A and B are shown apart, each in its own frame.
Chain A
Amino acid sequence: MATGTTFAHRHILGMEQLSREDIVHILATADSFKEISTRSIKKVPTLRGHTIINLFFEPSTRTRLSFEVAAKRMSADTFNISPSTSSTTKGETLADTARNISAMHPDIIIIRHSCSGAPLFLTRYVEAAVINAGDGAHEHPSQGLLDLMTVKEHRGTLSGLKIAIIGDITHSRVARSGIIGFSRMGSQVHVYGPTTLIPKGIEQLGATLCGSLEEAVRDADVVMTLRIQRERQNDPLLPSLREYSRQFGISRHILSLAKPDALVMHPGPVNRGVELPPDIADGPQSVILDQVTNGVAVRMALLYLVMGNS
């Protein structure tokens, strides 16, 4: 469809597995699918007769909805199941769940799980193609791809850009997929956050660790902030959200250090007034809703490509 290149991956487990050529191919495919969502009849028959299971062990509104919309616009039959992760300790294990689902012969399983590595684990027990919709603090490849697509649309290129990722890097799969993806496409990723939320050795993924918010944001093409999780028991990571917003949040002044037309991004949902004040989240530089729109197109492309362009 989009390009003549073949797509070699049966599963989409992370940005780490994708080459620069793979990413270009996925984004071109997504680009060609984007138009479908603007038609009055938003449906193509491409995946008719295919069964797609959304296996979400973690609560999710946006990502699950985005995958479901993508699948339905491709005419696939979709099913959502949300087993409780607590059942792993008493009752059905992930391996059991996987074997049972596999016995129903789905074509694609989209999995979100709180444990890093769960999508790879799943591939060992199922025949279906597996797409990672977020695993623990590991990867969230469809988010990484939609972020790349959004920046490419607005900047016209993905090379030579300065991308600032600000906030809780430790617990963020979005940060890991973003660092790998943007670096692979030839941009420089600069990360900053409180040291309690910066994981050891993040530079080895390709990021530059900054010493201040100003340093991270100065002359940036993109300022991406990450959601701060309020719920992290037994680990005193932050004194308060109030302190966080004052010391690490993006203010008008901080944003003014970036390029004048810098893009403001956030994987959502935004804690308004914590990572971003409402006037920036909803302001002219924000592309947060473009990210959501592109999410559907990227996921349509992934579903199409793992089905072998058939």
Chain B
Amino acid sequence: MNSSWRIKNGRIIDPANRIDRMDDLVVIDGRIAGPDQPAPADLPEIDAQGLWVVPGLIDMHVHLREPGEEYKEDILSGTRAAVAGGFTGVACMPNTKPVNDSATVTVTIMARAAHAPIRVYPVGAISLGSEGKQLCEYGEMRGAGIVAVSDDGRPVRDSQLMRRALEYASDFGLVVISHSEEATLSTGVMNEGPVATRLGLKGIPAAAEAIMVYREIALAEFTGTRVHIAHVSTAMAIDLIRAAKARGVRVTAETAPHYFTLTDEAVVGYDTNTKMNPPLRSAADREAIRTALADGTLDVIATDHAPHSVLEKELEFDAAANGIIGLETALPLTLALVRDRVIDEARLVELLAVNPATILGLEAGTLGAGAQADITLIDPDHQFVYTADQVVSKSRNTPFLGQTLQGRAVLTMVGGLVRHNLLG
């Protein structure tokens, strides 16, 4: 396959190098060419007129379900959904069956990922079996390919274990990703508030998130280590993170597109595709998240792509599993923030590419000379109806089905190889 291109007349948006201009971008042998590098005259061309040319998007929070739950998703189907959504790399959470809590499991995932169209960065478990008792062998797992550790989905209850995880992970340059949820408070199925009261559904209070976010901040501050807060959903947590950053705590944070797009009003009708954890929150929370994406309190947009089949979703609301797929809708939903003037184009690229790459220490997120040619071409005006038969993921659990979305990745290139192409 060809890995040398001239991408012509696009709008290159590359905030890592402070670039936003109309220009050609040249790729030679899978790497981005510098301005002085001689380019062959007969390079194949990609017409990027009217398109944005940005560093390949990175989703630092996905569930690929392999090994163990391949009927929901597998590494190949999940990464195909990712590349269709404009992502050139994904970090996959360890709550597989078995849990990715040893180098053996990591190696298995990496071997499967070798056939994927994009780069796969496994996240290792914090504790063995994610049971919150004993640390995993981070050193050996790092050698096998993990880029971070997390007990996502199984929040760490034991504060001593969390402290030790932060300290020990720092020895290997690994960031700890915290699913921040105080489990004893969090026994409901949707956000606690007037909508839950009207629907008669048991609520999850915002305090359940805020309490654990503060614990992680306190531990990171005291130990001087790095912590990353996953899927922030509440204004209370935003305030804590903003204040911590202001005093120099090494905390970063992400939110997911559904938290800045929807509110708990979406649960009216009991659609189980509006059930996720953390839950959709109030309009005030959504507003706080939009503000935090703009002002830098939140660093990353990640999807928390969580495929489930009808077996887990075609159920009573109380009985249904948490989570929705998100890889194919993240970019259009984020572009809506740009159209609403919440964030600008460069900030979109920071949130979806530059910052996740920096936090995980990846060679990505830049279009600088010599970088791997992981590139996404975005048509911000492309409109499409997201229908069930278009879904690339194996699962279809999304509340955005049937909606008209605007903005799409029309070409995704990984290491100079075109892996997704709607340009024809």
Option from B192, B195, B197 in Cβ contact (under 8 Å) with A202: B197
Neighbouring A residues of B318 by C-beta, 8 Å: 114-116, 136
Whether B194 contacts A200 by the Cβ 8 Å rule is yes
Task: Determine the interface band of chain A, counting residues with CB < 8 A from chain B.
Answer: 20 to 34
A299 at the interface (CB under 8 A from B): no
Neighbouring B residues of A199 by C-beta, 8 Å: 196-197, 203
A277 at the interface (CB under 8 A from B): no
A234 at the interface (CB under 8 A from B): yes
Whether A204 contacts B270 by the Cβ 8 Å rule is no
* Interface membership of chain B positions 268-302, coded 1 if the CB is closer than 8 angstroms to chain A and 0 otherwise: 01100000000000000000000000000000000
Option from B192, B195, B314 in Cβ contact (under 8 Å) with A95: B314
Cα distance A281–B140 in the bound complex, in angstroms:
70
A107 vs chain B, min Cβ distance (A)? 24
B385 at the interface (CB under 8 A from A): no
B198 at the interface (CB under 8 A from A): yes
Whether A137 contacts B315 by the Cβ 8 Å rule is no
* Interface membership of chain A positions 161-176, coded 1 if the CB is closer than 8 angstroms to chain B and 0 otherwise: 0000000000001001
B271 vs chain A, min Cβ distance (A)? 9
Whether B314 contacts A93 by the Cβ 8 Å rule is yes
A201 at the interface (CB under 8 A from B): yes
A113 vs chain B, min Cβ distance (A)? 7
Cα distance A121–B200 in the bound complex, in angstroms:
15
Cα distance A139–B270 in the bound complex, in angstroms:
14
Cα distance A89–B318 in the bound complex, in angstroms:
12
Known contacts: A135-B200, A200-B203. The answer to whether A116 contacts B314 by CB under 8 A is no
A18 vs chain B, min Cβ distance (A)? 15
* Interface membership of chain A positions 97-109, coded 1 if the CB is closer than 8 angstroms to chain B and 0 otherwise: 0000000000000
Cα distance A291–B216 in the bound complex, in angstroms:
54
A289 at the interface (CB under 8 A from B): no
* Interface membership of chain B positions 105-125, coded 1 if the CB is closer than 8 angstroms to chain A and 0 otherwise: 000000000000000000000
Known contacts: A120-B270, A235-B187. The answer to whether A200 contacts B317 by CB under 8 A is no
Whether A117 contacts B270 by the Cβ 8 Å rule is yes
Option from B192, B199, B314, B319 in Cβ contact (under 8 Å) with A138: B199
Interface centre among A117, A176, A205 (most CB of B within 10 A): A117
A118 vs chain B, min Cβ distance (A)? 5
Known contacts: A117-B270, A120-B270. The answer to whether A176 contacts B315 by CB under 8 A is no
Whether A234 contacts B270 by the Cβ 8 Å rule is no
A254 at the interface (CB under 8 A from B): no
A187 vs chain B, min Cβ distance (A)? 19
Neighbouring A residues of B187 by C-beta, 8 Å: 234-235
Whether A205 contacts B197 by the Cβ 8 Å rule is yes
* Interface membership of chain B positions 188-211, coded 1 if the CB is closer than 8 angstroms to chain A and 0 otherwise: 000011111111111100000000
A17 at the interface (CB under 8 A from B): no
B47 at the interface (CB under 8 A from A): no
Among A120-149, those with CB < 8 Å from B are 120-121, 135-139
A103 vs chain B, min Cβ distance (A)? 18
Query: Which residue of A has the minimal Cβ distance to B317?
Result: A117
Query: Which residue of B has the minimal Cβ distance to A198?
Result: B197
Cα distance A175–B199 in the bound complex, in angstroms:
12
Option from B195, B199, B202 in Cβ contact (under 8 Å) with A117: B199
Cα distance A139–B199 in the bound complex, in angstroms:
8
A292 at the interface (CB under 8 A from B): no
Option from A95, A117, A204 in Cβ contact (under 8 Å) with B194: A204
Neighbouring A residues of B192 by C-beta, 8 Å: 200
A94 at the interface (CB under 8 A from B): yes
Known contacts: A88-B315, A117-B316, A117-B317. The answer to whether A136 contacts B198 by CB under 8 A is no
Whether B200 contacts A176 by the Cβ 8 Å rule is yes
Cα distance A202–B195 in the bound complex, in angstroms:
9
Query: Which residue of B has the minimal Cβ distance to A124?
Result: B314
Cα distance A16–B197 in the bound complex, in angstroms:
13
B280 vs chain A, min Cβ distance (A)? 15
Cα distance A117–B319 in the bound complex, in angstroms:
11
Query: Which residue of B has the minimal Cβ distance to A203?
Result: B194
Neighbouring B residues of A113 by C-beta, 8 Å: 316
Neighbouring B residues of A204 by C-beta, 8 Å: 194, 197-198
Neighbouring B residues of A120 by C-beta, 8 Å: 269-270
Whether B201 contacts A116 by the Cβ 8 Å rule is yes
Whether A88 contacts B269 by the Cβ 8 Å rule is no
Query: Which residue of A has the minimal Cβ distance to B270?
Result: A117
* Interface membership of chain A positions 58-100, coded 1 if the CB is closer than 8 angstroms to chain B and 0 otherwise: 0000000000000000000000000000001100011100000
Whether A136 contacts B200 by the Cβ 8 Å rule is yes
Known contacts: A200-B192, A200-B203, A235-B187. The answer to whether A121 contacts B197 by CB under 8 A is no
Whether B200 contacts A116 by the Cβ 8 Å rule is yes
Neighbouring A residues of B202 by C-beta, 8 Å: 137
Cα distance A16–B269 in the bound complex, in angstroms:
12
Neighbouring B residues of A95 by C-beta, 8 Å: 314-315
Whether A115 contacts B317 by the Cβ 8 Å rule is yes
Neighbouring B residues of A94 by C-beta, 8 Å: 315-316
Cα distance A40–B295 in the bound complex, in angstroms:
77
Option from B197, B200, B269, B319 in Cβ contact (under 8 Å) with A200: B197
B176 vs chain A, min Cβ distance (A)? 29
Neighbouring A residues of B193 by C-beta, 8 Å: 200-201
Known contacts: A120-B270, A235-B187. The answer to whether A88 contacts B319 by CB under 8 A is yes
* Interface membership of chain A positions 199-217, coded 1 if the CB is closer than 8 angstroms to chain B and 0 otherwise: 1111011000000000000
A261 vs chain B, min Cβ distance (A)? 32
B397 vs chain A, min Cβ distance (A)? 15
Whether A89 contacts B319 by the Cβ 8 Å rule is yes
Interface centre among B187, B198, B202, B316 (most CB of A within 10 A): B316
| Besides A88-B316, A94-B316, 12 other A-B contacts (C-beta < 8 A) | A115-B317, A116-B317, A117-B199, A118-B316, A121-B270, A138-B201, A139-B200, A173-B200, A201-B194, A201-B198, A205-B197, A205-B198
Q: Can you give 30 A-B contacts (C-beta < 8 A)?
A: A88-B315, A93-B314, A94-B315, A94-B316, A95-B314, A95-B315, A116-B201, A116-B270, A116-B318, A117-B199, A117-B200, A117-B201, A117-B270, A120-B269, A121-B317, A136-B201, A137-B200, A138-B199, A139-B200, A176-B198, A176-B200, A199-B196, A200-B194, A200-B196, A201-B193, A201-B195, A201-B197, A202-B197, A204-B197, A234-B187
Chain A residues engaging chain B, CB cutoff 8 angstroms: 16, 88-89, 93-95, 113-118, 120-121, 135-139, 173, 176, 199-202, 204-205, 234-235
Closest 6 CB pairs of A and B: A201-B194, A138-B200, A117-B270, A137-B200, A115-B316, A116-B200
